[in-house]
Structure formats: structure tokens, C-alpha cells
């Protein structure tokens, strides 16, 4: 797949970039995408939820009544789960929600997500993105020039650029990442994918490593 390379004013530079069909032109695997997104979201969970178990409650351990014949459910001390204010049965405990996913499955998922973007013609390639100083106004001007200002954007750079990152930080519909941080969730969560020439080369190098 061949795309025209634009400059930050939105004009065609006359250059072309060829997207590798082995990355941007495969038949997408939806199940691999599902697993990779599921793992990403699971890793975002803190897992710090906690409810006190019966042994952790403070209260007398004296048996409140006879075992049978009381006309109600059997209960022991004041911490019994059957009583109001008692412990919770099988309550949540701190845990890690992460799970293992094979590297090849993750790679397939990311290739599938990029292939979806390529099929939707949602990938824009620019020669370079750089600002002398952090300026949100300049970043908004960039999105206007590329005619994608009303869309949710993912800007992919070849390396960290603090000025570009700070320029986009206050915009809720834009996120700036490097090629090495690219993941399935972020690709699919954005309407348009803006890549620099350098990041296209970096992505190809990452997948061929």
C-alpha cells in the first residue's frame, strides 16, 4: 500500500511511502485483537479491592445462642455473615488481573489493528512533526491542516519529542506516543492514525525484529 507524505501544513511533499503488506495488509484476526485488548485493560486494573473476611473482623467470639431450636439460621459469633454488620462471604481480595499472552499473538493483534486502519484509509503519513516550543495552538493548527481536527487521534513518533507531547497533552481527543509504545488498544481506540516517516520505518523494524 502506497501513501502520499504530507508536511505539517497539509500539503503533499511529492514523496511516497510504501506500507509493508506483511504488517498493514494481512487478514485481521479478531480473536487475537480481543485477547490483546483484554490483557491491556486487565493490566490497567489496580486490583486493590478488599472486604474483611470473618477472621479479620473485630468483635466478640462468644456464641450468641444455642445451635438448634432458635427458629432461625445457625450462627456463631457477632461476626457471622448471616447477621447485619457481619463479615462478607467470599468478598473481594487484592489480586493481579494480568495474564500471560504469547508474543506472537500480541504481534498478530497489532498487525491486525494496523491492517484495519489501512483498509479504512485512516492512516496519515507526515514527513516530520516538531515544534520549537510546546504550543497547543500549533498542534491544533496541525490537525486542522490535516483535516482531522474533529477526530480522535493517535500521533506516532519515531522517538520521544517533549514539545509535541506537551502541545497535545491538554487535548482530550489526541494522544502522542512513540512507535515502541504502539499497542492494539490505542490503535483501535483512535479514529485516525498519524505517523511520521520515521515511525513507519520504526514500526517495520519492530515487527521484523
pLDDT in tens, 61-76: 888 888 888 887 888 8
d(CA 189, CA 175): 11
d(CA 126, CA 149): 15
Residue range 21-43, pLDDT digits in tens: 999 999 999 999 999 999 999 99
142: left (phi over 0), alpha (psi -120 to 50) or beta: alpha
Q: How many residues does the chain have?
A: 209
145 phi and psi, to 5 degrees? -65, -35
Would the pTM of this model clear 0.85, i.e. be above it? no
Which pLDDT value is given to residue 55? 84
Q: Helix (H, G, I), strand (E, B), or coil: what is residue 176?
A: strand
Q: Helix (H, G, I), strand (E, B), or coil: what is residue 196?
A: strand
**Contact (Cβ atoms closer than 8 angstroms) between residue 189 and residue 168:** no
Domains, in order of start, for the chain: 2-45+98-208 (3.40.1370.10), 46-96 (no CATH)
Q: Per-residue confidence at 209, pLDDT binned at 50, 70, 90? A: low
Strand duo 123-126 + 12-18: pairing: unpaired
CA 98 from centroid of its chain's CA atoms? 14
Amino acid at each position: 500500500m502506497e501513501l502520499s507524505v504530507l508536511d505539517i501544513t497539509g500539503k503533499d511533499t511529492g514523496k511516497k511511502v510504501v506500507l509493508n503488506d506483511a504488517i498493514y495488509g494481512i487478514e485481521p484476526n479478531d480473536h487475537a485483537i480481543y485477547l490483546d485488548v483484554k490483557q491491556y485493560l486487565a493490566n490497567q486494573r489496580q486490583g486493590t479491592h478488599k472486604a474483611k473476611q470473618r477472621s479479620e473482623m473485630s468483635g466478640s467470639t462468644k456464641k450468641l445462642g444455642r445451635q438448634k431450636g432458635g427458629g432461625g439460621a445457625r450462627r456463631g459469633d457477632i461476626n457471622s455473615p448471616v447477621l447485619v454488620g457481619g463479615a462478607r462471604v467470599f468478598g473481594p481480595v487484592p489480586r493481579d488481573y494480568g495474564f500471560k499472552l504469547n508474543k506472537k499473538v500480541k504481534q498478530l493483534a497489532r498487525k491486525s489493528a494496523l491492517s484495519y486502519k489501512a483498509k479504512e484509509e485512516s492512516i496519515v503519513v507526515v514527513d516530520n512533526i516538531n515544534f520549537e516550543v510546546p504550543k497547543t495552538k500549533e498542534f491544533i493548527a496541525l490537525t486542522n491542516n490535516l483535516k482531522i481536527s474533529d477526530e480522535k487521534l493517535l500521533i506516532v513518533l519515531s522517538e520521544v519529542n517533549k514539545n509535541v507531547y506537551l502541545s497535545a497533552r491538554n487535548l482530550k481527543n489526541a494522544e502522542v506516543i512513540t512507535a515502541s509504545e504502539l499497542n492494539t488498544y490505542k490503535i483501535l481506540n483512535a479514529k485516525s492514525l498519524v505517523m511520521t516517516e520515521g515511525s513507519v520505518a520504526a514500526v517495520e523494524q519492530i515487527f521484523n525484529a
